[in-house]
């Protein structure tokens, strides 16, 4: 069996950065996020992708859910504890909501389903207060009546 974990990352309240500090500050924030994601994902041979807007995906091959969860928590804390330096006078505090899902090669659905499940977990993180990590579980989906 082959394990693959998708970590879906979304910058919390990113629109406010563009609105309050300008698009150049938004761009610097996205660059900062990309650098942080690359830095943290290297330890698990992860690949980082910009998914759109302020969303990113990290794919981690041969990575158990527990190990991915620890990495995601470290990443979440690191981002929230380190302000983005926009210029000499301006720094911005940001946070991210993270969802993750680990798939085993025998599971049906493929990569799209895996990304969708990590995305759903990320929205659960956002709706539960932001700046946190949530792992997708089939049990949580059933409780919500969404189905797996």
54 an active-site residue? yes
Q: Other C-beta atoms within 10 Å of 143: how many?
A: 9
Coil, strand, or helix at residue 10?
Answer: strand
CA angle 77, 80, 86 (to 5 degrees): 140
d(CA 142, CA 139): 5
Which of 24, 39, 47, 54 is flagged as catalytic? 54
Token digits for 41? 């994902």
Q: Other C-beta atoms within 10 Å of 92: how many?
A: 17
Question: Hey, which residues are catalytic here?
Answer: 54
């Amino acid at each position: 069996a082959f394990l693959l974990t998708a970590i879906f990352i979304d910058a919390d309240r990113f629109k406010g950065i563009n609105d309050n500090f300008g698009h150049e500050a938004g761009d610097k924030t996205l660059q900062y996020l990309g650098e942080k994601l690359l830095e943290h994902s290297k330890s698990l041979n992860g690949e980082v992708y910009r998914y759109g807007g302020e969303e990113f995906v990290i794919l981690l091959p041969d990575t158990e859910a527990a190990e991915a969860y620890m990495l995601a928590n470290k990443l979440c804390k690191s981002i929230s504890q380190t302000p983005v330096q926009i210029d000499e006078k301006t720094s911005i505090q940001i946070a991210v909501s993270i969802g993750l899902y680990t798939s085993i090669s025998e599971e049906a659905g493929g990569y799209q389903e895996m990304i969708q499940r990590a995305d759903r977990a990320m929205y659960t993180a956002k709706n539960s207060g932001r700046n946190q990590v949530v792992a997708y579980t089939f049990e949580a989906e059933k409780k919500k009546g969404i189905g797996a």
